[in-house]
Amino acid sequence: MTIKSYEFDKLVGKFGLKTRESGDKLAWLEYDGKIVVRTSRSHKKGDLPMQNSIRKQLKLNENQLRDAIGCTLSFEQYIEILRTKGII
């Protein structure tokens, strides 16, 4: 699955990830005052490099990432996935 830069940014907004600009765009999810997932993307437009790493850092499989980008995976469902995996 390919992830475009605007799709990554849409996920950041949808899941409420905090961001910081540096050499790359850094994003992380804080839950109950703790950082539970971190990821980053380059400032490149179009298809992003390291797409598989982004998916793994968000703790999603390909189908879950596809659902998240397609707006069928809600924030509550994402949190439940993280709970199931023991991350939260």
- What average pLDDT values come out for the chain (88 residues) when binned by 10 residues? 84 91 91 92 75 88 89 90 92
Q: What is the pLDDT of residue 42?
A: 83
Residue 54's contacts (CB-CB under 8 Å, 6 or more residues apart) are 3, 8, 39, 40, 41, 48
Q: What is the pLDDT of residue 46?
A: 67
Q: Which amino acid is at 6?
A: Y
User: Which residues constitute the domain of residue 16?
Assistant: 5-84
Q: What is the pLDDT of residue 28?
A: 95
Q: What is the pLDDT of residue 82?
A: 94
Looking at the 3D structure of the chain, how many domains does it have?
A: 1
Q: What is the pLDDT of residue 4?
A: 85
